[in-house]
Chain A
Amino acid sequence: MVDLTIIRNCYSRISSSPSHYIPYLNVFLAILSVYFVYRLIFPPTGPNGQVLNAQQQAKQKPQPVVYTKFTPATLQPFNGSVEERVLMAVKGKVYDVSAGRSFYGPGGPYSNFAGRDASRGLAKGSFDEEMLTPIDEPMDTLEDLNADEIQALNDWGQHFAGKYLLCGELVEQL
């Protein structure tokens, strides 16, 4: 015969144990109820999580970039590897083409144009190095282009104006 007293003792301890905690539980429940009623009457006056989140997002909004005048030399670093932003000049206007990084950024098919005056290359439909005017030479006047090439260049200009952010202009000297 197994002696059941130990088990019974154990059981009675467990079964009677809530009664020890009941008063504490009552106090806890009462406090919780009062707190919830208080919050119902007086909603919190501090900002809630949603508001804090919105505030945080508002702070992190991108800052507007300053419209800048570039010379060929100051534009060159904006090729995506020296500076983060990728800029490109078309017909004297500088566009921020960072959104098209895969095309114009380092390693992209048009990466030659990044940080440079791309007008001649776009007009002639060539992405070669020789289309670019060296940095230390005067800016390309584009006077020798024929009508078709001018047309092509204008189309490209419109394409960039519609797609990318105009953020400056290219000048010979500041």
Chain B
Amino acid sequence: MWNIPPLTIGLTGILFLILAYRLVRQRYPDIHPFALYHQSSIAPVRNPEQSAVYRSTLTPFTYPLISGLNIREGHSFRDGDLRDIWNFAKKGKLGFVNKKGDPILYHDYDTELTPLLHTVASRFNEYVPGIKKIGIYLPNSIENVVTSFAAAHYSMETVLLPLVCDMSEISRYLEISQPELLIFEAGVLDFTQLSLPESIQCLIIVVPSIQDHLEWKDQLDEKVGSSISVHTWEDVVSSVSHPATAVDAPEGALTGPAIIVPYTATNGKVELATFSHRNIVSAVATQLRIVPKSESFKSTDIVIPLDSLQNMYTRIMFFSALTAGTTVVFCGTTSEGLDVGALQTISPTIMIVSSKSLYHVLNYTPGPLINLRLKRAQGILTSGNLPWPILRLFPKLRLIYTHDGQLPWQRQTKSGRADDKAGSLTSAQLSLLRALLGARVVYALTNPRIAGPICQTHIYDYRNLGAVRVFGPVVPALEAVVKDTEHLKGGDRQGHLFVRGLPTAERGWTTTNIVGEWGDDGCFRELY
């Protein structure tokens, strides 16, 4: 009769077991591929010499672009301003790690930070009566956060000076922005080379506690002359409980400028981008809406901004994290490396980091086991799921917000070499990052004239499109077109990127100096 050998029966059994396991463990992709290939809502009509208007699928045509936080007040909704962000932040915690290995030091919003903020504003008003503009040149510190929110509460403008080391560049930024008060960390500004504009009436030095003995204030007094008063942060906060003179906080909606960012434009000229509360709030609201609720900032999250807060993108992401009531932890360093050891004690779940820092992760040491695991991870990513992390650097990390931290004029000088070390991340590199860290990566295209990102990767888009710089669709607060340039003509998808919407500093179509094209999938690709 049919006597089937046990080996055959066994093999058949194994085969069925494998197939059954596949069936049981089958995972659906995080998002349907169709959605990944239709990421933009495209206008059916376009003007000659430019592309159709592209929008996010969250805010298609006939829907309003995102304008604000939609805070309910009675029966109406309002957009909100920075003071509302501060109020939302009170649900969460703000922590600082002063130096490597230290435990996180949490500051309480109600008993510590909010009184501090009012004191700071009163003190500034005392030093410079009727103060309107405050220049900030600080690392990510409590002083930075408190000063900027103090300014927002008392309708002063904050000038965010980029943390560059070139004193002549800082001088140019100060000259064009004309702040009345400058707050900076001791020892970072060289006053023999720095020329202060005439508007400056007061300097505030933030002296780290270990440098108290260095007498920074006396040294400065000699250098700057008698027309400028010099104070230390200690002087400012010495009477937290009872400020000397109280200034009136403005009521109602804040319409004036809030944050001013000086930057060097394409032609080498120094320009100013002035962001109002509305600009900022629309960008923040966008970040809270663009990512599905399950992936967005949550109150259980620990967010670490690793990039400098002086950068508008990082600041908007920081504000978004505050608004969602997360725990934000600053770990002092804003250097370009990634100090893994210092970060592991914090065990972040969300990181806001510049693309340059992520190169540190890409410089992993390959080995046979890692290569095999990478192969597996790439397969899982292709099927639309997130793999386990290969490098267990941050075990709880689930989301990385990163951006192209360069100014467009720096980018244009590089002749389209996508694999350039100093350039931005390519799709292949982003895919590798996802595999190595086991976290979702959202890569944003930024411009100094626009608060927050212009375009950013869809959170579930794990596609590896090779050595091209692919950013996702335009954010739901903006609409975008590309217009023909001298070299790119005729094509209805390639050209110079222009955007319009509330996060732009100026009204109307804003030029970005970025040349790129729209893909079939509705994602923006940078060309050079």
Residues of A that sit less than 8 Å from B by CB: 15, 18, 22, 25-26, 29-30, 32-33, 36-37, 40-48, 50-51, 53-55, 57-59, 61-68, 165-167
* Contact present for B18 and A37 (CB under 8 Å): yes
* B residues 1-36 touching A (CB-CB < 8 Å): 1-2, 4-5, 7-8, 11-12, 14-15, 18-19, 21-22, 32-34, 36
Q: When each residue 353-379 of chain B gets 1 if its CB lies under 8 Å from chain A and 0 otherwise, what string results?
A: 000000000000000000000011011
17 pairs, A vs B, C-beta closer than 8 Å? A26-B7, A29-B11, A32-B15, A33-B11, A33-B14, A36-B22, A45-B375, A50-B34, A53-B34, A57-B37, A58-B522, A64-B46, A64-B52, A65-B46, A66-B45, A66-B492, A165-B44
**Chain B residues engaging chain A, CB cutoff 8 angstroms:** 1-2, 4-5, 7-8, 11-12, 14-15, 18-19, 21-22, 32-34, 36-38, 42-48, 51-52, 375-376, 378-380, 382-383, 492, 520-522
Residues of B within 8 A of A37 (CB): 18
Whether A54 lies near B36 (C-beta < 8 A) is: yes
Nearest CB to that of B385 among chain A residues?
A43
Whole-angstrom distance between the Cβ of A92 and the nearest chain B Cβ: 16
**Given that A22-B4, A33-B11 are known contacts, is A40 also in contact with B47, CB under 8 Å in the complex?**
no
Known: A59-B520, A64-B51. 20 other contacts (CB 8 A): A15-B2, A22-B8, A25-B8, A26-B7, A37-B18, A44-B379, A44-B382, A47-B382, A48-B383, A51-B33, A53-B34, A54-B33, A55-B37, A57-B34, A62-B44, A63-B492, A64-B44, A65-B46, A66-B48, A66-B492
Closest chain A CB from B424 CB (angstroms): 24
Smallest distance from the beta carbon of A152 to chain B beta carbons, Å?
26
B27 CB → nearest A CB, Å: 10
Residues from chain A with Cβ under 8 Å of B522 in the complex:
58
Given A64-B43, A67-B45, are A33 and B15 neighbors across the interface (CB < 8 Å)? yes
Chain B: minimal CB distance from A51 (Å): 4
User: Residues of A contacting B44 with CB < 8 Å?
Assistant: 62, 64-65, 165
A55 to B465, CA, bound (A): 13
Residue from A41, A46, A166 within 8 A of B45 (CB atoms): A166
Asked if residues B379 and A40 are in contact (CB atoms below 8 Å), the reply is no
In the complex, what's the smallest C-beta–C-beta distance from B52 to chain A, in angstroms? 4
Residues of B within 8 A of A63 (CB): 492
Residue of A nearest to B38 (CB): A58
B30 CB, nearest partner CB in chain A, Å: 13
Q: Is there contact, CB below 8 Å, between A66 and B47? A: yes
CB distance from B15 to the nearest CB of A (A): 5
A25 CB to nearest B CB, Å:
6
Please name all residues of chain A whose beta carbon is closer than 8 Å to the beta carbon of B11 when the two chains form the complex: 26, 29-30, 33
Give every chain A residue within 8 A of B1 (Cβ-Cβ).
15
B37 A43 Cβ-Cβ under 8 A: no
In the assembled complex, the CB of B35 is this many whole angstroms from the nearest CB of chain A, namely 8
Please measure, in the bound complex, the distance between the C-alpha atom of A57 and the C-alpha atom of B37, giving whole angstroms.
Answer: 8
- What CA separation (Å) do A62 and B7 show in the bound complex? 58
Q: Shortest CB–CB separation between residue B204 and chain A, in angstroms? A: 54
Decide if B18 touches A36 in the complex (CB within 8 Å): yes
* Residues in B whose Cβ lies below 8 Å from that of A165: 44-45
Q: Is A33 within 8 A of B46, CB to CB?
A: no
Question: How far apart are the CA atoms of A65 and B48 in the complex, in Å?
Answer: 9
What's the Cα separation between A22 and B382 when bound, in Å? 38
Give Cα distance in the complex from A32 to B14, angstroms: 10
Q: Which residue of B lies closest to A47 (CB)?
A: B382
User: Quick one: which of A22, A26, A41, A64 has the most chain B CB within 10 A?
Assistant: A64
Contact B520 A55 (CB under 8 A): yes
Contact B382 A45 (CB under 8 A): yes
Q: Nearest Cβ in chain A — how far from B382, in angstroms? A: 5
B47 cross-chain contacts in A, Cβ below 8 A? 66-67
Contact A43-B2, Cβ < 8 Å, known A25-B8, A29-B15, A58-B521:
no
A64, closest chain B residue (CB): B52
* Cα distance A18–B522 in the bound complex, in angstroms: 57
Q: Which residue of chain A lies nearest to B25 when distances are taken between CB atoms in the complex? A: A40
On whether A41 and B46 interact (CB within 8 A), knowing A15-B1, A18-B4, A36-B15, the answer reads no
Residue of A nearest to B22 (CB): A40
Complex CA gap A25/B2 in Å reads: 14
**Which residues of B are found within 8 Å of A48, using beta-carbon distances?**
382-383
**Closest A residue by C-beta to B49:** A66
Residues of A within 8 A of B46 (CB): 64-67
B157 to chain A, nearest CB (A): 40
Whether B379 contacts A42 by the Cβ 8 Å rule is yes
Assess the B33–A46 pair: CB atoms within 8 A.
no
CB pair A61 B520 closer than 8 Å: yes
A43 and B18 form a contact (CB under 8 A)? no
Across-interface contacts of B51 in A (CB, < 8 A): 64
Within the complex, the shortest CB–CB distance from B489 to chain A, in Å, comes to: 14
